[in-house]
A and B are shown apart, each in its own frame.
Chain A
Amino acid sequence: MVRRYLRAGNLAVCALLVATFLAGQVAIASGWLNPYYQVQLFSMGINVILAVSLNLINGFTGQFSLGHAGFMAVGAYTAAVATTRWGLPFAAAVLLAAAASAVMGLLVGVPTLRLRGDYLAIATLGFGEILRSILYNVDYVGGATGLLGIPRLTTWPWLFALTVVTVLAVKNLVNSTRGLALKAVRDDEIAAEDAGVDTTRTKVLAFVLGAVFAGIGGALYAHYFFVIQPTTFSFLKSFEILVYVVLGGLGSITGSVVSATALTLLSAALQQLAALRMVLYGLVLVLLMIFRTGGLFGTWELSFEAIGQAWAWLFHRRPPAGDRAPLTAAASSPGSATLPDLPEVTRDGAPQDR
């Protein structure tokens, strides 16, 4: 058992993560990374969390949600109230935020996930707006002014740990047996049901987990930027997260991470030109859908296997190994290790819709 987790690849990933963490810690503590870049770094982490969690719902499960900002708001407000009003420690606030988002995800998901495609999109958008309207009118959470003076408790270790947890959790989930069920629901819901997948349960599971991570992202956001307002979490925020996911590729965690990072930098560069940025986002969406529906990365994932194949192709002129390369460390989540011979379910990046 233990040995399975001690493969070279996993150890290498751990080493890489520790190195990244230490590099970030040193850069921040030594002041080498000035406050402006620190803000960008923290935005990146939060946006990666939001993008990866939305990708779980939209990309891997094919349930098109436009309400992600709503779950982010639930997490942000819950955590902020927990620390400022109830005086709870940050860890408890994050847990509460996750729990509250899970409950909200369940409440929204159970009725709406019966809807398909564009109807689901518009219903989730509606839920996000209803939630915002409620936040707007409840004085306990500050109404239109929102909550001010939230302590800055989102530190680099917190941000780094939670970002890594989100990415790894989603990665391991989609590579597990249950992940196959998610993709099956996306590719053909009726066929999945015939094959014995409990489609409702699968969809709700993905939706609730996505909501939980969005809530965690919201908690981090609230405790980094001091202020949260209902307007922060409008459906435009959901659209923004959607752009990250679509650009990276519906169904590629690598894509979500890369595009959330890159677009955070782009928006920092265009801070004075918010409208221009949105025009660019619009163009990105239109051009991607017309010319490359799968996004930049399709369903491709970065792994040691993929790097190895690229290496072999580049330097040994060997054609990339077939799709069934021996299980190397990178692909060794418990699920895929126990089920090496299941056929590939994924057909392409775009979720099928009937």
Chain B
Amino acid sequence: MTAILQQIVNGLSLGSIYALIALGYTMVYGIIKLINFAHGDIYMVGAYVAFFAVTLLSMNLGVALLLAMLAAALTGVLIERIAYRPLRNAPRIAALITAIGVSFILENGGILVLKPDPRAFPDPIRWRQIRLMGGSLVLSTQDLFIVGVTVAMMLLLVYFVQRTRTGRAMRAVAYDMQAAALMGVDVNRTIAVTFAVGSALAAVAGVLVGLYYNRIDPLMGLVPGLKAFIAAVLGGIGSIPGAMLGGYLLGVIEALVGGTQFSLFRDAVSFALLILILLVRPAGLLGRNVREKV
């Protein structure tokens, strides 16, 4: 029993990372119906910016995190402007192919510029272990930190989307781009903001994963990017609470599978989950079913 509980605790940290990345996927998909394959690589950009800020510029972690968010947001906006905006009215597959291309450029550009070898992410904080239930359940303050930061970010995001003017514009554009434009919403600006916010959240995930695994490399965004996409679909793509739920669910499921003798099939289980949800309930757990228009 405690073993399962321990796996769930482990899964929460991983789930936080997935949830943060999934938020970006879901926001972008919600607004322009694009699977932004490059999103996982923006998370890598964030991690590297924080890494250089801490090691080269000897900033403290908080400032480095802000800088990483800023840099990632800028990258996201730039990608949208250059690669995706010209294709807004093109077939969706064309935009998907472009996204794959952008992902190639970021990953392999990363290898060229940053060298392919992994780097040790500096961890300035001394974490402590908390033992619960007579010492059988170990909880690190790092886990608490990761979950805490994630939840704080999510609350901020929900506030932003639900309570601010820009957030309302985002919801309006996601609901009906043309109608929103007719009501005077600056669609281009709103989409740019969406990319900025999603990318900044991915940067937070990048920094947290750097602290968690202590290593970063240019291809670090590849697999978590796909996993976070699964999380977004699981929760209901386009839905912000769905992305959070999906992220944590996927993290916990992976940790639970990882604790059994089938641990090597962890990735297969995640992808199987994706296909299952696509076939059984394509709108996801919290998504609304949208009737297809003829």
Task: State the A residues within 8 Å of B (CB).
Answer: 64, 111-112, 114-115, 117-119, 121-123, 125-127, 129-130, 133-134, 136-137, 190, 239, 242, 246, 274-279, 281-286, 288-290, 293, 350-354
Contacts and interface: CB of A to CB of B under 8 A. Distances in A.
Given A276-B112, A283-B105, A134 B100 contact: no
| Residue of B34, B100, B107, B116 with most chain A CB atoms under a 10 A cut-off | B100
Given A118-B96, A129-B268, A285 B104 contact: yes
Given A123-B278, A279-B109, A289 B87 contact: yes
B191 to A, nearest CB: 17
Interface of B: 33-35, 83, 86-87, 90-98, 100-105, 107-109, 111-112, 116, 226, 229-230, 233, 264-265, 267-268, 271-272, 274-275, 278-279, 282, 292, 294
A117 B92 contact: yes
A246 B97 contact: yes
A279 B94 CA distance: 18
Contact of B91 (A127, A129, A288, A353): A353
Nearest to A127: B275
Contact of A114 (B91, B111, B279): B279
Given A127-B271, A242-B97, A351-B93, 13 more contacts: A112-B278, A122-B274, A126-B271, A129-B226, A275-B108, A278-B108, A282-B104, A282-B108, A285-B98, A289-B94, A290-B98, A353-B91, A353-B93
A242 B268 contact: no
A91 to B, nearest CB: 33
19 contacts: A64-B93, A112-B279, A117-B96, A122-B233, A123-B278, A125-B226, A126-B230, A275-B112, A278-B107, A279-B104, A279-B108, A279-B109, A279-B112, A285-B100, A286-B98, A289-B87, A289-B94, A289-B97, A290-B98
A124 B64 CA distance: 38
A275 B87 CA distance: 26
Majority secondary structure, B binding face: helix
B127 to A, nearest CB: 32
Contact of A283 (B92, B101, B112): B101
A123 B274 contact: yes
B41 to A, nearest CB: 11
